[in-house]
Amino acid sequence: MTIYRTKEQRINETKPIIKKLSELGIKASEHEEIKELLHKIQVYIHQGERINIHIPFPIADVDIVGVLATDVKERVWVKFTKN
């Protein structure tokens, strides 16, 4: 049985992602890839859709990958991986 996250839970699950970007000094205003990530997070929060993330981020020589999961049993995560 799937138990879906509430909007408040989705907000709380994505806060560490936003906080980490801020700590790393990575700004959406400077990188289209980060704008795309933040847009996907907004869709996830407001529409409650499960989103798989794979965004090439060539300036840092990494891909942004992760899952914004709606089921409370599945982990929400995003990381930078070397291509």
Mean pLDDT by 10 residues, the chain (83 residues): 96 97 94 97 97 96 98 97 87
Q: What's the pLDDT at 74? A: 97
- The reply to whether 19 falls in a domain is yes
Q: How many domains does the chain have?
A: 1
Q: Is residue 27 part of a domain?
A: yes
Q: How far is CA 61 from the centre of its chain?
A: 18
What is the domain range of residue 21?
Answer: 7-82
pTM of the model: 0.94
The per-residue pLDDT for 27 is 92
Is 40 contained in some domain? yes
Would residue 1 count as lying in a domain? no
The answer to whether 75 touches 68, Cβ cutoff 8 Å, is no
Q: Tell me if 78 is assigned to some domain.
A: yes
Q: 14 in a domain, yes or no?
A: yes
30: left (phi over 0), alpha (psi -120 to 50) or beta: alpha
- pLDDT reported for residue 19: 97
